[in-house]
Amino acid sequence: MTMTGKLKSRDGKLYVLYTYNEFAEPFRQRFWWRVREVHRSPYHVVDPTPEDEVIYQREGRWKAGNRYTVVTGQGNQEAELVERERVLPPPSRGKELRWNDGRWERLLRTGWVPAGEGEEPTAAPRRRSSKTAHQLNDEIEQATGIKVQG
């Protein structure tokens, strides 16, 4: 399996961020390795920039195509920071959910299918009015004296 990371800027320094979903439990780990060296290709004089995708080669070397290689250590270098966060389940919609091989799945008639991920609740959901558009128009007209078309 290929390890693919992204370059990220953190505290004014350049890092390789590798994200990994745990297989057995609904958790995601983020590994942050600080970039120690940059080796540019003689054919592509390009500086690494945040959001560039890099692929792990070996011994702490991450390659961005033919443009450059960044070095994060000798290969046995531990990540400078490791974050672990819970992956929230998606809405179940009455279907059975499970965490399997690093992702949420939903059971349908056709079998287990990918289900996506849940989101942090941002605000209380707005309640829908049980009134019809005609009833609302009448209330607006009574309150303001203005005839509402609709």
Q: Which token pair is 114? A: 């990918």
- Could you read off the pLDDT of 95-128 as tens digits, one per residue? 999 999 999 999 999 999 999 888 877 666 666 6
Task: Work out the number of other CB atoms within 10 angstroms of the CB of residue 71.
Answer: 19
Supply the pLDDT for residue 143.
74
Whose tokens are 């289900």? That residue is 115
Phi and psi torsions of 142, nearest 5°: -65, -40
User: Is pLDDT of 94 > 70?
Assistant: yes
Q: Where are the domains of the chain?
A: 4-86, 88-120
CA-to-CA separations, 32 to 14, 81, 103, 127, in angstroms, rounded:
10, 5, 22, 42
CB 115 within 8 A of CB 104: yes
Q: Is 144 helix (H, G, I), strand (E, B) or coil?
A: helix
User: Is pLDDT of 137 > 80?
Assistant: no
Closest CA to 75 of 122, 36, 117: 36
How many separate helices (H) and strands (E) can be counted in the chain? 1, 11
CB 30 within 8 A of CB 47: no
- Could you read off the pLDDT of 16-42 as tens digits, one per residue? 999 999 999 999 999 999 999 988 877
- How many Å is the Cα radius of gyration of the chain? 25
Exposure on the CB side of residue 15, measured as CA atoms within 13 A: 19
Phi and psi torsions of 35, nearest 5°: -75, 120
